[in-house]
Copies of this chain bind each other. A is one copy, B any other.
Amino acid sequence: MKNKKMKIARLERDLNQEDLAKIVGVTRQTISLIESGAYNPSLKLCIAICKALGKTLDDLFWEVEK
């Protein structure tokens, strides 16, 4: 279950994974693994990513589809 919404929001802001990683204070791999759905980030990290991308938790991490 990839996180496509997060990837789209990142691209909308013209950021690559490394840029975003630097902004939120993690490594590029962590961003990559979250986008590819390989692991579940902590709430703090989710919030940092949302703020960096100008989105909310529901925007990026809430699954509408059942």
Contacts and interface: CB of A to CB of B under 8 A. Distances in A.
Contact of A58 (B40, B41, B42, B58): B58
Contacts of A47: 61-63
Q: What is the total number of copies of this protein in its complex?
A: 2
A57 B40 CA distance: 14
Nearest to A62: B57
A56 B56 CA distance: 11
21 contacts: A40-B42, A40-B43, A40-B44, A41-B42, A41-B43, A42-B42, A42-B43, A43-B43, A43-B46, A43-B61, A46-B46, A47-B61, A47-B62, A56-B57, A56-B58, A56-B62, A57-B58, A57-B61, A57-B62, A58-B58, A58-B62
